[in-house]
Chain A
Amino acid sequence: MDIKDLILNPDKFFRELSTREPSLLPPFLIVLTLSVLSAIHAYYKFSVIANIFPPDMQELLSMFLVFTLLTSFLGGFIEWVLVAGIMHLISALFKGEGPFKRTLEFIGYGFFPNIVGVLLTIFISYYFLSGVELPTLTMEQLKNPEVAREILASILPKTMKYTMALIEIAVLLWNLVLWTYGIKYARNLDLNRAFIVALIPTVLYLIHRLL
């Protein structure tokens, strides 16, 4: 696996890879790395935000932390299978041919930008949230979700939000590139059709994020 080609020349990367037997290990490692990093990021954010909750809620928070780590960790794998499934189905409409294993393999490589994105996100989160002292809210304050939301929103600087948004857009566009070439060779499509197939889950994801 030539990472350089994956980044700079995905056409070449997937073309060469399509000549080999499908192997899910490398994409699995990519998604696993992504999931671990996502879980670390989620843990870090959680540990910062948990300070606003009163000590009475710590037991509940522990449970919530486990839930957050699980969803962050498993989210990457679920997303991998989901995106691959959607693209496999859509490519079928364009008379794409190829096994799902290959689709799953190539779409998995497409999550490589997310690793870069998560790494950047962790760095930026640390940059903005390290040293932040959060007030502990009372139960009365927490009972009003508006107040809690306002406080959380006020803690996260707008600059951080904008930076995150830029990184997320960049990662998504990068995903689009990799998924286009990935599905092209996985399902034997021309570039235009492959682009459309890759664009659909990308747009769906974008809509999901905007909502």
Chain B
Amino acid sequence: MRGFFFLFLFLIFSIPVYGVEFVNFDYKNEYLEPGKTYDLWVVIQAEEEMNNSVVGIYPYGVGSQYIEILKGKDYIGYLPEGVIDVGHFFIHIKEGTPSGDYKVVVYCNYTRDGKKYSNNRVFEIPVRGKPALTLEYTPLIEEGMNRIYIVIKNEGTGTAQDVKIRFEEGENIYALSEGYIPYIKPGEGKAIEVKVYGVGTGMAKLPYILQYSTPYNNLQLVEKSESESIHSKTVTYTYKNQRKVEERGNLVFKIIPSDAVEIEVKNPLLPLGEITNFTLTLKNNYRDTRFTVMVGRYYIGNNKKSLFLRKGEVRNITFTLKMEEGGIKEIPVKVIFEGKEIERNIAVDVIGKAELVLTGVNVEGTGDLIITGDLSNLGTGRARGVLISLKKTEYVIPMKPYENYFIGTLEPNDYGSFELHAKVINETDVIPVVIQYREENNRVVKVERNISVRGMDIYISGKREGEYIPLIFGGLFLLGVLFLLYRVFLGKGSK
């Protein structure tokens, strides 16, 4: 329906009108910007004699919301046929006008032969928003090297292109890098990282130059000159294309001591798995203030905690972590106070704990034993250099070549088989073995385990079967001698 309406208007306006011709519609700019006031000229040519001519403008359609007509009528009066004249108007583009082409109706009312006539024509005014950049940053830095983030926000209505920020030598502060953003759309904000070096503590000022460009030509009137001759008057306008914008300003910082907050981990050795008491110690060297501590990785549940510390006060703060693999790990910790963020990587050594158990142990033999079985790692850490040895006791003597057995590395949930040889020289219920290995942090661990042989027939003392025969024989021999003594001293032999 709306399309038909515009088609109707187009047909009406495109029909040649015998009376006045709208020769030109000029605003001396490529685009108009919101928030600005512009001169507008409409050039007309009388195609017939015209009396009481009045040229005027009014916005049409959505343009009426954004275009304010400051001077919308210009009286021209009499115009003979074929004469050109100009109507001069003032319009104001309202703040916040979105970029777009807005329609303006130009009309001309006149009388001829006592009758009123009116002609009009629709022109378009291109409005393009202008970027307006603001800088946001945290005005608190540490003494020494800092990485700060400057958020450049475009609060204008046009896109800013090729945004560059560079810095000049400041007071107590030096910038060691520059920033560049290809574009920032209206309402958008983008951050750039800048390295700055703060000298000493106290206030610091860093001059900056912010350069950007608009995506269109921005002609601005810089000079207007008039020259008059006998028959004519010439007005010359000089424009400058303000497409590239350069703004200067200062970033003001407060430099605090580099050790304003000391963060330490209470126990840098962490076990593998869930750690409910990962404790950080904070010392406040700055001033009484509230700190927010955030753990960046490995956390379970709440990773952000807040605490108030007086100057010089030391307090602990505890988080819950879950470490899934061993080794040296860095936990990013962020401390935020008074808008300042301090990031520290807390290095911890995550140690999986190997837990070696004897499984499937079999003891074969009598006297000379062959002990076979597996060593299984039920723990969470790797056991390296695993060596199982028989422990020599007064009843168990390790025998070569398998006094000990080297298994090597046992990963978690892994196992290794072993074989040990021993001689049992007396009754015993246990065969002690020593399991030696290195944990992931190279700590040597020695554990002693007893292989139970209770109730097993593992010992035979010499000639077990019939071992009492020699004893009986010895006893008989003694009895024989005693009989001999009796016979000799008291019996037949004494006579």
Are A and B interaction partners? yes
Q: Which residue of A lies closest to B398 (CB)?
A: A135
Q: Evaluate contact between B394 and A157: CB separation under 8 angstroms.
A: no
* CB<8 Å pairs between A and B, sample of 18: A8-B484, A9-B492, A10-B493, A124-B470, A127-B470, A133-B423, A135-B399, A154-B395, A159-B461, A159-B467, A160-B462, A163-B473, A166-B474, A169-B478, A170-B478, A170-B480, A177-B485, A177-B489
Main SS at interface, chain B: helix
Q: Evaluate contact between B488 and A11: CB separation under 8 angstroms.
A: yes
Q: Evaluate contact between B425 and A154: CB separation under 8 angstroms.
A: yes
Task: Give chain B nearest CB distance to A209 CB in angstroms.
Answer: 15
A155 within 8 A of B: yes
A47 within 8 A of B: no
Q: Evaluate contact between B394 and A159: CB separation under 8 angstroms.
A: no
Most buried by B among A12, A120, A135: A135
A141-B392, A155-B425 known; A173 and B481 CB under 8 Å? Answer: yes
Contact of B394 among A8, A136, A151, A163 (CB under 8 A): A151
| Contact count A vs B, C-beta below 8 Å | 99
Q: How long is the Cα–Cα vector from A79 to B84 in the complex, in angstroms?
A: 164
Main SS at interface, chain A: helix
A132 within 8 A of B: yes
B132 within 8 A of A: no
Task: Give chain B nearest CB distance to A196 CB in angstroms.
Answer: 14
Interface set of A (CB-CB < 8 Å, partner B): 7-12, 113, 120, 123-124, 127-129, 132-133, 135-137, 141, 147, 150-151, 154-155, 157, 159-160, 162-167, 169-171, 173-174, 176-177, 181
Q: Which residues of A contact B18 (CB under 8 A)?
A: none
Known: A8-B484, A151-B425. 8 other contacts (CB 8 A): A120-B474, A124-B473, A147-B392, A154-B395, A159-B462, A163-B473, A166-B471, A166-B477
Q: Evaluate contact between A128 and B423: CB separation under 8 angstroms.
A: no
Q: Which residues of B contact A176 (CB under 8 A)?
A: 485
Task: Give chain B nearest CB distance to A181 CB in angstroms.
Answer: 8
Contact of B474 among A129, A133, A154, A164 (CB under 8 A): A164
Q: Which residues of B contact A132 (CB under 8 A)?
A: 462
Q: Evaluate contact between B474 and A128: CB separation under 8 angstroms.
A: no
Contact of A160 among B398, B470, B482, B484 (CB under 8 A): B470
Mark each residue of chain B from 455 to 495: 1 if its CB lies under 8 Å from any CB of chain A, else 0: 00000011100011011011101101110110111001110
